[in-house]
Amino acid sequence: MLILLPPSETKRPGGEGPPWDASALALSELTSIRESVIDALVRLSDDPDAAARVLKLGPTQRGEIETNRVLRTSPTMPAIDRYTGVLFDALDAATLDASARRWLGTHVLIHSAPFGPIGALDPIPSYRLGAGIRVPNLPPARRLWGPAVTTALARREEAFVLDLRSEAYVALGAAPIERSVYLRVLTRGADGQTRALNHFNKAAKGELVRRLARHRPPLASVADVVDWARESGLDLAPGAPGELALFV
């Protein structure tokens, strides 16, 4: 099983790892795109006013421009530790034991805007770039990343892909449709209607991945995931075609 996670806009600063090295990331076939995006972000940072406009930064956020300017020389940390926010706080990877973290490194990719999908333990610097931003001198993000990411994911050997990304990141590279399933987090209202969630959607995804990393069940199919969830007390069921519904 391969799990795809979205990134978070909020990130932990600093790090103790060496400067970013594209060759240290998963899906090496994306290296040339990664290099072009980083080069463009660094160049953009030479013009702070343009960078603030392109990245949609307010006056109190202009420090993010410097973060991008030093992307190639700043320290790194594992991606799963770099990101903060609701999903990653619920996953709380720093408190997992070594075996659970190794499982994350093997089974989880985090889909970032400047690097594409990266391994959970891949070392990355802090940065500022969202899925919907078009960086000057580059094609639109969907065109830049989409076909290459889809091809790279299709080459993976996992039996199936559990896609927990937001739709903005799905647009930057769809998972192979014949062996992937998209997770939606829903709630059942008093009127019997099901509704999508926002904040709790992210928390539920983080908690699900944490539980998988801690218990590391042998899952070879979507049916295995549903059975494991039922035995674990989770309300997970098939939804629309190609989807699973997690009720919270």
**Residues 36-65: tens digit of each pLDDT:** 999 999 999 999 999 999 999 999 999 999
- What are the C-alpha distances in Å from 99 to residues 84, 96, 106, 163? 21, 8, 11, 23
Domain that holds residue 131: 2-247
Q: Give yes or no for residue 192 having a pLDDT over 70.
A: no
Percent with pLDDT over 70 in the chain? 98
**In whole angstroms, what is the distance from residue 209 CA to residue 49 CA?**
39
What does DSSP assign to residue 242? T
Q: With beta carbons less than 8 A apart as the criterion, state whether 6 and 164 touch.
A: yes
Q: pTM to 2 decimals?
A: 0.95
What does DSSP assign to residue 22? G
Q: Give per-residue pLDDT as tens, 64-113.
A: 999 999 999 999 999 999 999 999 999 999 999 999 999 999 999 999 99
> What end-to-end distance do the CA atoms of the chain give, in Å?
23
The number of distinct structural domains making up the chain is: 1
What's residue 193's pLDDT? Answer: 72
Average pLDDT, the chain: 95
For 243, the token pair is 């989807």
Mean pLDDT of 211-222: 95
What's residue 224's pLDDT? Answer: 95
Helices (H) and strands (E) in the chain, counts: 10, 10
Q: Give yes or no for residue 214 having a pLDDT over 70.
A: yes
Q: With beta carbons less than 8 A apart as the criterion, state whether 8 and 83 touch.
A: yes
